[in-house]
Amino acid sequence: MGDVVIRVLAAVAATCCLTAVPAYAADDGTEKLFTFKDPGITESSGLAVSPTHDGVYYTHNDSAAAPTFYAVDGSGRTRATYRVRGAEARDWEAMAATKDPATGRGVLWFADIGDNLDGAWPDISIYKVMEPRTLGDATLPATRYRFRYADGGRNAEGMMINPRTGRLYVVSKEFAGAVYAAPKKLRTDRVNILRKVAGAPIMATDAAYAPDGSSYVIRTYFSATLYEPSGKTIAKVTMPDLKQAESIAYTLDGTALLTGTEGPQSPVYRVPIPSRAQPTATPTPTASPARAASTPEPQAAEAVMTGLTVKDILIWLAAALTAIGVITFIARRTR
């Protein structure tokens, strides 16, 4: 019990020592792209843009769902429903889409990384699925990669892949969240170890890399923060008010972000990003995460709670104080 209190107090203290983040408000440039029309999409938790099919977007449901994902068009209509063979769906929280540089084939990644008990699972899984060449209901085979955190189990809802190197990252959802890097070469015959390489905003709900690898974004319930690949903060981007903000992705041209929320008939919004974070050169072909090239990693010294407004801080201070009150009450009742 004492350890829990200490962790909460530490989170509160850290929140009071935040690094200033340059803000960027997307005013009238934000627009609603579409609303998911499929009654089967009730908890859209992951979002990705197809790298090979124009105008196609992928999503999947949250926990307590089958290993299934959906291909939808720009009007929100489902074009195809896919079942992933050989996969479990304990708590799918994120997805990413890349392109195989050798074949030009799209590759989809599904992260079964949610853990509301912060370490209840002995390991987590991420599934690799080759993007179908044509759109139509089907069952697709998957390659499973298992992972474990070097510093102990935790809850996570963000996963992203650097398209320049193929390196895979998981972003934890905690008061003091972090970015964890997977090994350069992923193995299917053993558990892959995730190691902390940078801090992340408080309670991150998703993450994504820009198509050209020039930046990455981490989403929280309240906003989104853009980073350089080194982990240095670029800017915070104001997000539309959503019921439960769960997903984030870049548009294919890297000039805007797409964000969605859970719930039946949930919307997806397009939010422009500042010009200094937009691509300035031709995108570099994607590398395979199984054989990623050497690259500078995000710096662990980056502040662990960037990307917050005063409103965010007050909300999480209130949540932390409430948690302390509950913990104190339980401790007194159980002494």
Residues in the chain: 335
| Residue bearing the bigger pLDDT, 320 or 2 | 320
Residues 118, 3, single domain; the answer is no
Local structure of 25: helix, strand or coil: coil
Query: Domain residues for 207?
Result: 29-307
Residues 301, 285, single domain; the answer is yes
Q: Tell me if 23 is assigned to some domain.
A: no
Residues 214, 266, single domain; the answer is yes
Residues 323, 222, single domain; the answer is no
Q: Which residue has the tokens 């570099």?
A: 284
* DSSP designation for 305: T
Tokens in use for 16? 């009071």
Residues 246, 144, single domain; the answer is yes
Q: Tell me if 116 is assigned to some domain.
A: yes
Residues 144, 271, single domain; the answer is yes
Q: Which residue has the tokens 């590398």?
A: 287
**Quick one: the chain helix, strand, coil %, rounded to 5?**
15, 35, 50
CATH of the domain at 222: 2.120.10
pLDDT of residue 23: 45
Residues 255, 315, single domain; the answer is no
Q: Tell me if 24 is assigned to some domain.
A: no
Q: Tell me if 100 is assigned to some domain.
A: yes
Local structure of 302: helix, strand or coil: coil
| Integer Rg of the chain from CA | 19
Whether 11 has a pLDDT exceeding 80, the answer reads: no
Tens digits of residue pLDDT in 250-275: 999 999 999 999 999 999 999 999 88
Q: Are residues 78 and 71 in contact, defined by beta-carbon separation less than 8 angstroms?
A: yes
Backbone angles phi, psi at 334, to 5 degrees: -105, 0
Residues 155, 13, single domain; the answer is no
Q: Are residues 277 and 234 in contact, defined by beta-carbon separation less than 8 angstroms?
A: yes
Predicted TM-score (pTM) of this structure: 0.81
Tokens in use for 66? 């089958």
Q: Say if strands 143-149 and 192-199 run parallel, antiparallel, or are unpaired.
A: parallel
CA nearest neighbour of 37 among 2, 8, 72:
72
Q: Are residues 303 and 199 in contact, defined by beta-carbon separation less than 8 angstroms?
A: yes
pLDDT of residue 28: 56
pLDDT of residue 307: 45
CA nearest neighbour of 166 among 143, 185, 142, 145:
185
Number of domains in the chain: 2
Residues 289, 200, single domain; the answer is yes
Q: Are residues 73 and 79 in contact, defined by beta-carbon separation less than 8 angstroms?
A: yes
Tens digits of residue pLDDT in 46-82: 999 999 999 999 999 987 678 999 999 999 999 999 9
Backbone angles phi, psi at 84, to 5 degrees: -100, 115
Residues 179, 325, single domain; the answer is no
Local structure of 126: helix, strand or coil: strand
Residues 2, 52, single domain; the answer is no
Residues 101, 123, single domain; the answer is yes
Tens digits of residue pLDDT in 228-242: 999 999 999 999 999
Alpha-carbon distance 63 to 61, whole Å?
7
| Residue bearing the bigger pLDDT, 172 or 24 | 172
pLDDT of residue 272: 95
Q: Tell me if 324 is assigned to some domain.
A: yes
Alpha-carbon distance 165 to 289, whole Å?
7
Tens digits of residue pLDDT in 141-168: 999 999 999 999 999 999 999 999 999 9
Whether 17 has a pLDDT exceeding 50, the answer reads: no
Whether 320 has a pLDDT exceeding 60, the answer reads: no
